[in-house]
Structure 1
Amino acid sequence: MRSHYCGDLLEVAAGEQVTVAGWIHQQRDLGGLAFLQVRDRSGIIQVAIDPDQEELLSVAKSLRNEFVVSVTGKVRNRPADMVNSEMATGSIEVTAEVITILNKSAPPAILVNEHEEVSEELRLKYRYLDLRRPEMQQKLLFRNKVAKKLRDFLEAENFADIETPILTKATPEGARDYLVPSRTNKGSFFALPQSPQLFKQLLMMSGFDRYYQIVRCFRDEDLRADRQPEFTQLDIETSFMDEEAIMGMMEKMIRQVFTECLDVELGDFPRMPYAEAMRRFGSDKPDLRVAMELVDVADLLKAVEFKVFAGPANDDKGRVAVICVPGGAELSRKQIDQYGEYVGRYGAKGLAWIKVNEPGKGVDGVQSPIAKFLNDELIDQIVARSGANSGDILLFGADSNRVVTDALGALRLKVAEDRGLVEDSWKPLWVVDFPMFEEDGGQLHALHHPFTAPKENDADKLRAAPTATLSRAYDMVLNGCEIGGGSVRIHDQAIQAAVFDILGIEKQEAEEKFGFLLEALKYGCPPHGGIAFGLDRLVMLMVGADSIRDVIAFPKTTTASCPLTSAPSRVSEAQLEELAIKSTAVKEEQ
């Protein structure tokens, strides 16, 4: 039905006969002359119908956008003054000899041949039309290329691609599970995996040494631009490698993918401890393209009469910090108030500020409603420590450590984006030395998951000081996005039991949820560790998309629904009865 893809015709000699097939991208009727643009996934080619081809001209004039056609004709070079430099194939065209209409199309619900501002709901409802658009096809084909390069690298490093179950049991991965009722075991449920974590550890215990899988995972959680209820990750696990070896190999893999897919050299991957990332950037995934940092000034403000500063400055759990915005003194009061509302989302009660006019002149060199609470020496010290210059603005956070860190960390990125302070570059790093546990509501939780190994390989010491213990975890961060996270795993039964104890997981509960893992640890478990990369998020960054929905063929909306298929949907009472389930939602409606 076709001899060539449209985009491949540049490699065909002029005068050679070809057949292409695809969709009508555009039709131009010039009276005695007609031109068509035919599109397939490889690109667009112009088809010319000469004036003496009356029958073909009649067929060409009947064509509409998105009709499916095949065209047979000869390739020819376009005259120099007719070359279209905006098309990859703009230097050639096909002179039509045969045009066959393979299928007609109704007027498309969304435009394919030009950019149109339509709602995402409409795009997802007519996703098959949205995916015909060249930019969407390029993104998905690029995703395919990235996945292949990742596979090629891992296969060359002797990793084996092994599938793990989709129907499994609920495990604590930090989000809600999607549950699947069992018909054959009424009242019991499978869970869709949040990750293959336990199975890949079992594969290491089985002697498979190096495993990988590009796998679908499921999390029933609130959605954002970089989250979906079902997503794809590159899952990796390996035995007899410590964290340095694993990170080194993963760096090499990501460097190679960027070089081969984008012709980009990523440069160094610095290592940054979690505590430093939170202190300097207010985030465990710092965007190093933004030069602004959080600067602590609590020690300078303990004796001031301004309680907004003095309270947190004298509280062991408080923090007073500042970010210096270059050229920010030009911000209006309205803009500053809007930033104040923004940090309010993170619990901040307000946003104090100082505009720096002349550094070194104390109160007389600044403009601020809080200047009256500070003396010349304090202002000069704050200005000097923050590195502020004339024309800058200082934005303060004063509250609990958590509120200040979260609020200023988010504000730093918001201001940088608004004011064009984000460097156009790639800035990767590893964040390491995470705390083993975090406290929430008086209860300790694993910062990653309960199978992450602690740096303190002594069960008694771990129990004695759990919050002071660091884990052997590591996250790969790129331009403010965590693209991969992993750790060395616990392979010692005593350490695993201690972690469960600290987390308040009773022996009976541990046996019920993880008995198979605990049993396997008895039989010669090797030291092992791994990492998982979010493939959707990685590709999103590489193609410069704003949302992972742009690099997933059939994504869900932010309400975890599919406008295309109207999923999720109700099922019949007969199906529910077969599964021994009653729906309270149906009852309430009735």
Structure 2
Amino acid sequence: MGEALNGLKRTIMCGEIRESHLGQKHVVMGWVQRKRNLGGLVFLDLRDREGILQVVFGEGINKAAFEKADLVKSEYCVAVEGEVVKREAPNENIPTGMIELKGESIKILSESETPPIYIKENLDTDEMIRLKYRYLDLRRPDMQKIFKIRHKTAKIVRDFLDENGFLEMETPMLTKSTPEGARDYVVPSRNYPGMFYALPQSPQLFKQLLMVSGYDKYFQIVKCFRDEDLRANRQPEFTQIDMELSFVDMEDIISLNEKLIQKIFKEVKNVGVKLPIRRMPYSEAMNKYGSDKPDLRFGMEIVDISDIVKECDFKVFKDALENGGSVRAISVPNSADMGRKQIDKLTDFVKTFKAKGLAWIAYKEGEIKSPISKFLKEEEIGAIINKIDAKFGDLILIVADKNSVVLQSLGALRLDMAKKLELLKDNKEFNFVWITEFPLVSYNEEEERYQAEHHPFTAPMDEDIPFLETDPGRVRAKAYDIVLNGEELGGGSIRIHDTSLQEKMFQVLGFTKESAWERFGFLLDAFKFGPPPHGGLAYGFDRMVMFLAETENIKDVIAFPKNQNAYCPLTEAPNVIDQKQLMELNINFQEK
């Protein structure tokens, strides 16, 4: 049974005690990391959120306290009172390692069963067990460090935006289902049988309404919901740093956010971010890196060699070019000796991205090996080597197909080879880049219509507006993403605030006037009343904390995450609800 505090007050955290506290009496409270009985002495390593403190109990100090201390086990929750003294055997690996607490009294506040997981750093335990006992997993010092980083980052964001004139405002969690690119989570209404609320995928429409309302600068750190397949950096509920500003252009938003990024990374990581951050048009990112979120920490840029091989006798190359595609390549450093089996695996890899195959040239000193050399003239191979700037020992990998397949497969291959060669293993660089000039729309061949690349309210670039009706695929958007080390950290756009332009945009996307009003009527109605020019940006807050905490799994930075199947092993959600609740909601299930 646990003892009551009976007025006992903690005076300091375990991990805060230092040599400056020598001779002082203190009360500390926390969990027992481990216990050692060395005969006449009992040592407890006592842990709280701030760190670990060694507490020593001796028969000669206080026999009753010594005997009670000897009863405790790992993860017992205790309170200890005693004097700070010098440690006879210092431990330089922890901040409290020069001192210890000479325990004079101890209260066992609560007992603990043997924990199903170890409470230690760098725990190598099955993720399902960690999630089932998440409250224990969160006791671990490395996890607590992550959530301190998360808290500090949120505070920096709030302080910075407050200093720059932003108001923090909340938007509804129960709202209307609108098409935003992913499935909605829906909530049935008891008061309106057969009708549903949707949980917001983002506060997009509401933050635009706040601009119509004249609030000028809005932000919130807000939960968003998307019912989509999960991966390492995706969860069904996630957090955004969301902002919207009036009377601004793209330069204003980018400039403000560069200062915010610089402040966050300096104060949290002590990393200097040099401003201005590099900018790269979408077309350049795709052509050089095969991705709109390029990782710029290494080379291996994609190079178009179509002009060199257009007259060659290799049928694969000729067919791709005749069908309007291209032939492109990357040069992989120090890989010319790669074995045939390894190259065959790379061929299988690019086939998963619909590429038909992979050609290669091994460029060695005094020797060039390639299965396609018989189809290429010596000067053509030399021109490829020169254009791609290959060095002795490099392996040139080539894909020929339609442009989308070539770029996607080589972009993925580039990243795969960087991992295989461990080019980023010890790379602590933070390489930021703004991606700009995105396409406004893309053509969906299955649905035979154009769809918005961002959302229907993204403004086109002024000089491209004339092409909206004649060649929509050519139109660039006033959109911008901030990318860090190959991951999209955030993105936003300038919004359409002109009614006639918005109607034209809806027409391009295949909305009738009626369907547009059915989906977005409340926003379109508001736009009748003097909407200001406005734009915004949203960061994936969880993803930002992943970088700051140096983890690759989004579940590490969310206190109570779901697993890869959007299931919570801790609470066993989702689960069934009783028949009475179903009846109140007018819900009936039919067997398939």
TM range (shorter): over 0.9
Equivalent residue, structure 2, for 1:417: 419
- Distance in 1, matches of 2:350 and 2:547, equals 26
The residue aligned with 1:266 is 273
- The residue number in structure 2 matching 1:85 is 92
**Match for residue 285 of structure 1?**
293
In structure 1, what is the Cα distance between the partners aligned to 2:44 and 2:27?
A: 14
CA distance in structure 2 between the aligned counterparts of 1:34 and 1:413, rounded to whole angstroms: 53
Matched letter for residue 565 of structure 1: T
- Structure 2-normalised TM-score? 0.95
2:79 is matched with which residue?
Answer: 70
Asked if the contact 1:85/1:91 (under 8 Å) is kept, the reply is yes
Task: Decide which moves more: 199-208 or 436-445.
Answer: 436-445
Matched letter for residue 381 of structure 1? A
- Asked whether 1:491 is paired with 2:497, we answer yes
Deviation at 1:539, TM superposition (A): 0.4
Q: Secondary structure at the match of 1:464?
A: coil
Match of residue 441 from structure 2: 437
Contact 1:435/1:471 (<8 A) preserved: yes
Q: What amino acid is the match of 2:22?
A: A
Question: Which residue of 2 is the match for residue 558 of structure 1?
Answer: 564
- Note the C-alpha offset of 1:524: 0.7
Mapped to 2, the partners of 1:115 and 1:105 lie a distance apart of 22
The 2-side partners of 1:541 and 1:528 are apart by 29
Measured against aligned partners, the alpha-carbon deviations of 1:72-121 in whole angstroms (never above 9, x if no partner) come to 11111224xx2211112111111111111111111101110354421111
In the alignment, what sits opposite 2:212?
Answer: 205
Residue 570 in 1 paired to residue 576 in 2?
Answer: yes
Matched-pair contact (CA < 8 Å) for 1:428–1:479: yes
* Code of the aligned partner of 1:485: G
| 2:421 partner letter | R
Deviations 1:250-309 (A, max 9, x none): 000010111111111012411100000000011001111122211111111122222222
Residue in 2 aligned with 1:328? 335
**Cα separation, partners in 2 of 1:11 and 1:76, compared to 1, 3 Å:** closer
SS in 1 for 2:18: helix
Q: Indicate the SS of the match to 2:205.
A: helix
Residue pair 1:26, 1:113 contacting (<8 A) in 2 also: no
> In structure 1, how many angstroms separate the alpha carbons of the residues matched to 2:259 and 2:512?
41
Retained in 2: the 8 A contact 1:232–1:536?
yes
Q: Is the 8 A contact 1:354 1:367 kept in 2?
A: yes
SS in 2 for 1:261: helix
Name the amino acid aligned to 1:288: L
Q: Alignment partner of 1:328: what SS?
A: coil
Equivalent-residue separation in structure 1 for 2:361 and 2:337 (angstroms): 12
1:508-554 Cα distance to aligned partner (Å, 9 max, x none): 11111111111111111100000000100000011110111100000
* Shift of residue 460, structure 1, vs aligned partner: 5.5
- Partners of 1:224 and 1:378 lie apart in 2 by 43
Residue 47 of structure 1 is matched in structure 2 by: 55
> Using a 3 Å threshold, how does the CA distance of structure 1 residues 61 and 455 change in structure 2: closer, same or farther?
same
Quote the RMSD (CA, aligned, Å).
1.4
Q: 2:364 aligns with which of 357, 362, 380?
A: 357
The 8 Å contact of residues 456 and 462 in structure 1, kept in 2 or not, is answered as no
The one of 56, 69, 74 equivalent to 1:60 is 69
Q: Which segment drifts farther, 296-305 or 141-150?
A: 296-305
Deviation string, structure 1 residues 206-257 (Cα, Å, up to 9, x no partner): 0000000000000001111111100000000000110001000000001011
The structure 1 residue matched to 2:537, chosen from 531, 538, 545, is 531
1:167 lines up with 2:174 in the alignment = yes
- Asked if structure 1 preserves the Cα contact closer than 8 Å seen for 2:326 and 2:402, the reply is yes
| Aligned equivalents of 2:574, 2:268: Cα separation in 1 | 36
Letter in 2 for 1:451: F
Distance 1:9 1:21, change over 3 A: same
Distance 2:355 2:70 in 1: 64
Equivalents in 2 of 1:323, 1:168: separation in Å? 47
Q: In structure 1, how many angstroms separate the alpha carbons of the residues matched to 2:351 and 2:551?
A: 28
- 1:574-589 aligned at under 5 Å gives the runs 574-584=580-590, 587-588=591-592
8 Å Cα contact 1:456-1:469 kept in structure 2: no
The 10-residue stretch of structure 1 (28-37 or 186-195) with the greater mean CA deviation from structure 2: 28-37
Aligned ranges 1:36-435 → 2 under 5 Å? 36-52=44-60, 53-79=62-88, 82-113=89-120, 115-268=122-275, 269-316=277-324, 318-358=325-365, 365-422=367-424, 423-435=427-439
Alignment check: 8 A CA contact 1:327 1:391 kept: yes
Larger mean CA deviation between 112-121 and 277-286 belongs to 112-121
Asked if 2 retains the 8 angstrom alpha-carbon contact of 1:459 and 1:494, the reply is: no
Residues of 2 paired with 1:230 and 1:389: CA distance?
A: 47
Amino acid at match of 2:263: Q
Unaligned residue ranges in structure 2 (runs of 5+): 1-8
Gaps of 5+ in 1: none
Deviation at 1:57, TM superposition (A): 2.9
Are the aligned partners of 2:121 and 2:141 in contact in 1 as well (CA < 8 Å)?
A: no
The alignment's TM-score, normalised by the length of structure 1, stands at 0.96
Could you list the structure 1 runs, at least 4 aligned residues long, displaced by more than 6 angstroms after superposition.
none
In the alignment, is the contact (CA less than 8 A) between 2:45 and 2:54 conserved in 1? yes
* Deviation at residue 459 of structure 1 after TM alignment: 6.0
Distance 1:215 1:334, change over 3 A: same
Aligned to 1:6: 14
CA-to-aligned-CA distance 1:332-366 (integer Å, 9 cap, x gap): 222222222222221122222111113xx6xxx21
The alpha-carbon deviation at position 573 of structure 1 amounts to: 2.0
More divergent stretch after superposition (38-47 vs 111-120) = 111-120
Tell me the CA shift for residue 51 of structure 1: 4.6
Contact preservation (8 Å) 1:458, 1:495? no
Whole-angstrom distance in 2 between the partners of 1:29 and 1:352: 67
Using the TM superposition, give the Cα deviation of residue 457 of structure 1 relative to its aligned residue in structure 2, in angstroms. 6.8
The answer as to 2:460 corresponding to 1:454 is: yes
Contact 1:446 1:503 in 2 (8 A): yes
Aligned length: 578
1:31 & 1:336 partners in 2: Cα distance?
A: 64
SS in 2 for 1:96: strand
Distance in 2, Cα, partners of 1:12 & 1:315: 77
Q: Are 1:548 and 2:554 counterparts?
A: yes
Q: Does the CA-based 8 Å contact 1:24-1:36 persist in structure 2?
A: yes
Distance in 2 (CA, whole Å) between partners of 1:440 and 1:271 is: 28
Deviations along 1:142-200, one digit per CA (max 9) or x if unpaired, are: 10100000000000001000100110001121101111111101111111000000000
